[in-house]
Amino acid sequence: MADGHPPFECAPGLKLAAHERVMSIQLEHINRRLDQLEEMMERLEKRLWLTVYGVVAVILAQAFQSVLTAAAN
């Protein structure tokens, strides 16, 4: 077929088999989409942790700078 899906027969006697085939294709698509969403969530989680570590680093740097300023006076 032109759209990339493999052809399958759908005669009245093969209605159940055709339905099972369609459901199989839909389930494969759902599983593929779920895998993509899980990968996106993992990347988002990594970015979130990098942001948290960055904020903590800035706070610690400011605290250290305050300690150095207080010690110098």
pTM for the full model? 0.60
Buried-exposed string 4-18: b where 16+ CB fall within 10 A, e elsewhere: eeeeeeeeeeeeeee
> Does the pLDDT of residue 37 top 70, yes or no?
yes
How many domains, in total, are found in the chain? Answer: 1
Range of the domain at 32: 12-72
Q: Is residue 30 part of a domain?
A: yes
Amino acid at site 21: R
Q: Is residue 7 part of a domain?
A: no
Task: From residue 1, give the alpha-carbon distance in Å to each of 4, 5, 7.
Answer: 6, 6, 7
State the pLDDT confidence band at 11, using cuts at 50, 70 and 90: low
State the pLDDT confidence band at 2, using cuts at 50, 70 and 90: low
> Does the pLDDT of residue 24 top 60, yes or no?
yes
State the pLDDT confidence band at 12, using cuts at 50, 70 and 90: confident
Q: Is residue 22 part of a domain?
A: yes
**Predicted local distance difference test score (pLDDT) of residue 62:** 97
Q: Is residue 5 part of a domain?
A: no
Q: Is residue 17 part of a domain?
A: yes
